[in-house]
Structure 1
């Protein structure tokens, strides 16, 4: 029960903090060819992955992982806003050889 609640908390905190720090809710249109980060992608995906890694390693923090979920949601939103483009650069927008 606490695990499921931790996953819900990490998604809600990642989206909430992402919106507070002015990440757009959705990427630019057309979404298939957009490399814009948003509050819905990849922010909660990163926070869910980090939380799953921590749980698998046996690190659950205090309060059955609820505090860890909140912390990782906030951390992932800040990562996406300020560091994501430096770690994962956007591909070149030139013509392809296909």
Structure 2
């Protein structure tokens, strides 16, 4: 039974890569289902950034979730703060003078 563990760990890693890092779908998984799940996870990330940094989301406009999702696809998250900083830098956004993106 222990010989199954490396195979299971490998398959789990492949699944995680497909869901959060733009990896190819592992065998046995429907690509459309993985795409839908990966998109839902990206939207969740966008929501977390918007909740923690509402001024960043506001500065980006009403299509923030779509912009963030497109930017984040294939970029694994390390933290909400890192996501916000890298997204803002990639889009040339900066906090307004004297203001921060997060609320107190």
TM-score, length-scaled by structure 1: 0.40
Q: Which structure has more RCO (C-alpha within 8 Å, separation ≥ 6)?
A: 1
Larger Cα-atom Rg: 2
The normalised TM-score by structure 2 is 0.38
